[in-house]
């Protein structure tokens, strides 16, 4: 693992520069995104949009996939990952919708949605570059701590600790927070050719230390990233405090 500690206000530009290089080298690259606060706090999407709008990066031929979605909320719901990606990224760039896959949280058979996602990835020869965040309980995508981790995309319960974290986004009502999600499997993540994990803020310091230095265990899924041959971890000073 290559670990870089940068000031918070330089992370967005640094990651966006790397993505622009990846896209220049392979215009039809398949990139997997992440949602959550981290890309917003660091400005990763904002910086990438700026490069696209200035002509420094042409994203129009890229393929994009999102690794997860909460079940039971429609795409139009403002907390769906579909709406998040539109609001924070896709609405601002020139990119054809047919070249994206964001799982549908209202799919009749979520297991089939998982298979559709796997096939989308396989048909493009695998994920070239995956941006991931780090959940407070060590989850990556929605791969929650568990005695074993499915290899292929799957339907998962959302851990209580995360549902409580998201409650303010759902009007403070825990009962309105989705209880399940579809997510990449661990094999889906590990087959990505390059993974960039970004974590910022003091509240991530304990889990960052565990993920990067702790024993490898499916009870802290991010620890498994230690086995991936091409992972870059980008932290701000607060998140790096304990590792």
- Least distance (Å) between residue 58 CB and ligand GLP: 26
CB of 89 to ligand GLP, least distance (A): 14
Among 185, 173, 176, residue whose Cα is nearest residue 103: 185
Q: Which residue, judged by CB position, is nearest to ligand GLP in the bound state?
A: 133
Binding of residue 143 to ligand GLP (CB under 6 A): no
Binding mask 99-138 for ligand GLP (x = CB under 6 A): ----------------------------------xxx---
Min. distance of Cβ 134 from ligand GLP in angstroms?
A: 6
Q: Which of 118, 137, 206, 219 is catalytic?
A: 137
Q: Is there binding between residue 170 and ligand GLP (CB under 6 A)?
A: no
Q: Which of 22, 23, 32, 38 binds ligand GLP (CB under 6 A)?
A: 38
Closest separation in Å from C-beta 120 to ligand GLP: 18
Residue among 47, 144, 162, 236 flagged as catalytic? 144
The footprint of ligand GLP on this chain (CB under 6 A) covers a number of residues equal to: 12
Q: Is there a catalytic annotation at residue 112? A: no
Nearest to 120 by CA among 147, 141, 101, 134: 101
Minimum separation from the CB atom of position 98 to ligand GLP (A)? 23
Query: Is residue 144 annotated as a catalytic residue, yes or no?
Result: yes
Q: Which stretch binds ligand GLP (CB under 6 A): 33-41, 47-55, 106-114, 218-226?
A: 33-41
Q: Is residue 34 close enough to count as binding ligand GLP by CB under 6 A?
A: yes
Q: How many Å apart are CA 122 and CA 147, to the nearest integer?
A: 27
Contact flag: residue 221 with ligand GLP (CB under 6 A): no
Provide the Cα torsion 125, 145, 150, 215; round to 10°.
80
The binding site for ligand GLP (CB under 6 A) comprises 34-38, 68, 133-135, 141-142, 162
**What residues act catalytically?**
68, 137, 139, 144
């Amino acid at each position: 693992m290559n670990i870089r500690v940068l000031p918070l206000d330089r992370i967005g530009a640094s990651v966006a520069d790397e993505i622009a290089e990846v896209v220049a080298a392979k215009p039809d690259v398949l990139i997997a995104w992440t949602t959550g606060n981290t890309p917003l706090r660091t400005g990763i999407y904002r910086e990438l949009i700026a490069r696209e709008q200035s002509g420094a990066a042409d994203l129009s031929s890229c393929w994009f996939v999102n690794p997860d979605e909460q079940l039971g909320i429609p795409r139009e719901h403002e907390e769906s990952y579909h709406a998040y990606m539109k609001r924070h990224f896709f609405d601002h760039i020139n990119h054809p919708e047919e070249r994206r896959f964001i799982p549908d949280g209202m799919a009749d058979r979520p297991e089939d949605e998982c298979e559709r996602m796997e096939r989308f990835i396989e048909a493009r020869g695998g994920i070239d570059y995956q941006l991931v965040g780090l959940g407070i309980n060590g989850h990556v995508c929605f791969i929650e701590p568990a005695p074993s981790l499915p290899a292929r995309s799957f339907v998962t319960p959302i851990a209580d600790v995360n549902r409580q974290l998201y409650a303010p986004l759902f009007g403070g009502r825990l009962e309105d927070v989705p209880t399940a999600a579809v997510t990449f499997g661990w094999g889906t993540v590990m087959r990505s050719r390059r993974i960039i994990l970004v974590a910022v803020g003091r509240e991530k310091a304990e889990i960052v230390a565990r993920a990067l230095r702790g024993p490898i265990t499916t009870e802290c899924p991010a620890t498994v990233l230690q086995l991936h041959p091409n992972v870059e971890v980008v932290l701000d000073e607060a998140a790096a405090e304990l590792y």
